[in-house]
Amino acid sequence: MAKLNEQSFRRELSSDKLNNLYVIYGDEKYLVRKYTDALISAAVGKEASEFDLYKFNSETPLESIFDAAEQLPMFTERKCVCVTDYNINSLSEGDYKQLEAFCSDIAPSTVLVFSMPTLMPDNKKKSSKLSKFITFSEKAGNTLELKKLDETALRGRIISWCEKRGCRIDRNNAYEIISCVGNDLNTLKNETDKLCAYADGGEITEEIIKKLCIRNTESNIYALSDCIAKNDFNAAYRQLDLLFEQNQPPEMILSILSSSFIDMYRMKAAAEAGKSINEVAEDFNYGRRSFLLKRAGTAAARYSKESLREIFEAILEADIKLKSTRADSRIVIEVLTAKLLLAVKRGGRV
């Protein structure tokens, strides 16, 4: 009866000594699905009959879940009942107490799984029924929380996926994939599979990544800030055209663009104070998005703190125009881009 991590959970699956109650949840939904499937396979096999595997959703009455969990297995040693994204918070006090009572005495041949591939408990609300049920399940059974992976772990996954597909990729190019598509593990897996299919047993290079990877909106806007930092007028306006072709809201473009310069300012200040990336990430609660600071640190070398302050004034001016005038929003962003490019060219003065 415990709160498991990935390693202890895999060890439990391989030991074939399963508990009767599991709650699988967390930010990394790809892993929630992956380990839910792995648990079901460990409990009843990959091709379980409908008599030994029941799958329910949030619409299922508690009584139906209880009835299924009480039935004896027919063709395997165990019966598995998997309940997906069950809205425990919507239960009445009486029903919630009934759920806890049932889960305290589950049939020995039953593995009852509450999986949350989309539902996310609010860890700040310890009084919510879902949070209470997770705490209860740590004592009555096992829980597995799957948090977002940090950059090092993500790069390791990408390299491992490539090796399993017979391809090679170095750490820098694994990071390039993360920079391109973001840190969602499901998206990273799909993009890596696509790159491996193209490489066909060879090496995945930066050229291949830039050719095949589809940048998400945030990555495209960060790419715009990179073009500005490099003082590449043509590339910057091509990137801006792409964002408008995708019908990205000007407010979003401005917001993420300003965030990229805030990242640079923080890294500039950190360098002067002798602080590390990890310290900056912790001080400003970057969490699993700390990989953004690495790129910002490189770009920040092109600016002085004073120039970044002047750039913020230009961004503020554009923000006010977007919110308080009828000016053409595209022209506002294009003029801002020109000002930022000129700021780089002049050594920071807008």
Q: What tens-digit pLDDT sequence spans the chain (350 residues)?
A: 789 999 999 999 998 789 999 999 998 889 999 999 999 999 999 888 888 999 999 889 999 999 999 999 888 889 999 999 999 999 999 999 999 999 999 999 999 999 998 887 665 566 689 999 999 999 999 999 998 888 889 999 999 999 999 999 999 999 889 888 888 888 899 999 999 999 999 999 999 998 898 777 777 787 888 888 888 889 889 889 888 887 888 998 999 889 989 999 999 888 888 888 889 988 898 876 777 787 788 788 777 777 888 889 999 999 999 988 888 999 999 999 999 888 877 764 44
**69 dihedral zone (left: phi>0; alpha: psi -120 to 50; beta):** alpha
The total of other beta-carbon atoms located within 10 Å of residue 43's CB is 26
Every domain range in the chain assigned CATH 1.10.8 = 151-212
Q: What is the DSSP letter of 21?
A: E
**Can you name the CATH fold of 2-145?**
Rossmann fold (3.40.50)
Per-residue confidence (pLDDT) for residue 179, from 0 to 100: 81
Radius of gyration of the chain from Cα atoms? 25
Q: Where in the chain is the domain with CATH 1.20.272.10?
A: 217-345
Q: What is the model's pLDDT at position 154? A: 92
Is the four-CA dihedral 158, 162, 163, 164 of positive or negative sign? positive
- Integer Cα distance of 147 and 155 in angstroms: 16
Cβ proximity of 175 and 291 under 8 Å:
yes
pTM of full prediction above 0.75: no
CA atoms of 153 and 279, how far apart (whole Å)? 19
Look at residues 274, 281, 279, 220 and name the one whose alpha carbon lies nearest to residue 247: 220
* Dist. CA 125–CA 27, nearest whole Å: 16
Angle between helices 305-324 and 250-273 (to 10 degrees): 160
Residue where the block lists tokens 């895999």: 10
Q: Where are the alpha helices (DSSP H) in the chain?
A: 6-15, 29-44, 62-70, 93-103, 129-140, 151-164, 171-181, 185-199, 206-212, 217-229, 233-245, 250-273, 277-283, 291-300, 305-324, 329-345
Helix (H) or strand (E) holding 24: strand 21-25
DSSP 90: G
Q: What's the CATH code, domain 217-345?
A: 1.20.272.10
The residue to which tokens 């396979």 are assigned = 41
The angle, 0 to 180 degrees and rounded to 10, between the axes of the packed helices 6-15 and 29-44 is 10
Tell whether domain 151-212 is in CATH 2.40.50: no
Surface-to-core class of residue 54, CB atoms within 10 Å of its CB (0-12 exposed, 13-18 middle, 19+ buried): buried
Q: Residue 335: which region, alpha, beta or left (left: phi > 0; alpha: psi -120 to 50)?
A: alpha
Tell me the pairing of strands 79-84 and 53-56: parallel
Domain with CATH 3.40.50.300 in the chain: 2-145
